[in-house]
Amino acid sequence: MLEGALKKHRCLVARADYGYDVATPRGWEECDLAWTAPQFAPSAAPGLVLRSADCLPGWAGTRDYADVWQRIALRAAGQGFLLVCRFPRRAVQVRDALVGTGVRAGYWETPSAGEIPPLYSRIPADVSLKRLHLEHEWSTGMAAARGGTALVRIGALLAKKGPRSVPDLASDMGISSGAARSYVRWMEDAALVRREGRFAALRHPLLAELFLEKPVPESRPPVPPVPPQKKWDPVELD
């Protein structure tokens, strides 16, 4: 899968949904663009992993990194390069920019089949922690997407009614089919929904929990009453 694609392509754009691990090959360097600027210092490492590569178009718009694609192309000519993205639209944008500089960049992504990301199977049986991850997955996807309340409405409809066609969503929301189609496409670009033939569905089933009634917190044993304290007597200091 990913390992095979990385062996085939010296430079590879890997698009992974939230909750999927993309391991750094042994001996490679890595840099996370969510927290630091792109690093291209000379190195003897066999390759470089750029995480959060969705940020590259933003860095390319700055004065100091206007030539970022050329820098990547130069380094990719001498060593392996793995660019890890999360959002489909950004990943395609990164790949196209690399191809535009002459880099033969490969492309790999996690299958869009509705599987629950591996992260959620590793979370302990803690409802609050799982919900925190789900909320983070959804909110960061929303931050990367165009649109606002309309996308939340679509998420709620898909959670409660299951996969829906664009005409059904348009009818449910009282909007045109063209508008509904645009909203669904924006959510696909942000890895919030996926296609099931002519139907749109949430990216994976657990996201539906965000829009359904919250579970009632588990009851806790009553806290025993605090025994009354003896009145303080200054004489006791003697």
Q: What is the CATH number of the domain that holds 49?
A: 3.40.50
Range of the structural domain that residue 58 is part of? 2-109
Q: How confident is the model at residue 237 (pLDDT cuts 50, 70, 90)?
A: very low
Compute CA distances 105 → 26, 40, 56, 194, whole Å: 21, 18, 15, 25
127 and 91 part of one domain: no
* Domain termination site, one of 109, 135, 164: 109
Cα–Cα distance, 166 to 179 (Å, whole number): 9
pLDDT band at 148 (very low <50, low <70, confident <90, very high): confident
In a domain, 148, yes or no: yes
Q: How far apart are CA 229 and CA 198, in angstroms?
A: 70
Q: Is the domain of 105 the same as that of 125?
A: no
How many domains does the chain divide into?
2
With respect to residue 33, please indicate whether it lies within any of the assigned structural domains.
Answer: yes
Residue 228 has pLDDT above 60, yes or no: no
Instruction: Indicate whether 176 and 89 sit together in one domain.
Output: no
Asked if residue 220 is part of any domain, the answer here is no
Same domain, residue pair 105 and 140: no
Say which residue the tokens 């009453």 belong to.
225
- Is residue 155 very low, low, confident or very high in pLDDT (cuts 50, 70, 90)? very high
- Asked if residue 236 is part of any domain, the answer here is no
Which of 85, 109, 133 marks a domain boundary?
A: 109
pLDDT digits (tens, 9 = 90+) for 38-85: 888 777 889 999 999 999 999 999 999 999 999 999 888 888 899 999
**Contact between residue 14 and residue 84 where contact means Cβ atoms under 8 Å apart:** yes
Say yes or no: 49 and 140 in one domain.
Answer: no
Q: Over the chain, what is the mean pLDDT?
A: 87
* CA distance readout (Å), 137 to 19, 95, 97: 8, 23, 26
- 160 and 138 in a single domain? The answer is yes
Asked whether residue 93 falls in the same domain as residue 20, the answer is yes
